[in-house]
Amino acid sequence: NAGVTQTPKFQVLKTGQSMTLQCAQDMNHNSMYWYRQDPGMGLRLIYYSASEGTTDKGEVPNGYNVSRLNKREFSLRLESAAPSQTSVYFCASSEARFGGSQPQHFGDGTRLSIL
């Protein structure tokens, strides 16, 4: 049982390049999330999808777009990468919106560096 799988694990981009971070979960969860983690700060929500077919902005959505491709997959796209987007990105999923009676499950993270 893989849980939440993120690809790639590491990526280096040049300013202005675009890329898509992929996330898939095999727990049949309804809700999925993208967070970024920066030194000294807590995880911050970029976008979330409470259920298949819906997406909503989180705390720090600027510069990102998301697609809930189906119930399993939720991708995060950087259209024109900026050095400020250098971070570790985590995808998470949960049965209910923001967890309900169960915790969120996290992927292993993607370390993204923008030069």
Partner 1 sequence: KNEVEQSPQNLTAQEGEFITINCSYSVGISALHWLQQHPGGGIVSLFMLSSGKKKHGRLIATINIQEKHSSLHITASHPRDSAVYICAVRDYDKVIFGPGTSLSVIP
Q: Nearer Cβ to partner 1, position 50 or 69?
A: 50
Closest CB 79 distance from partner 1, rounded Å: 25
Does 41 bind partner 1 (CB under 8 A)? Our answer is yes
Residue of 97, 112, 113, 115 interacting with partner 1 (CB under 8 A): 97
Closest CB 86 distance from partner 1, rounded Å: 15
DSSP code, position 100: T
- C-alpha 115/C-alpha 105 separation (Å) is 30
Q: Nearer Cβ to partner 1, position 40 or 53?
A: 40
Q: Nearer Cβ to partner 1, position 69 or 109?
A: 109
Enter the tokens of residue 42: 């807590």
Enter the tokens of residue 100: 């309900």
Does 71 bind partner 1 (CB under 8 A)? Our answer is no
Enter the tokens of residue 35: 């967070």
- C-alpha 45/C-alpha 43 separation (Å) is 7
> Contact, 28 vs 4, CB < 8 A?
no
Give the type of residue at 61: P
Residue of 45, 67, 71, 86 interacting with partner 1 (CB under 8 A): 45
- C-alpha 21/C-alpha 4 separation (Å) is 13
Residues that bind partner 1 (CB under 8 A): 35, 40-45, 88, 90, 97-99, 101-109, 111
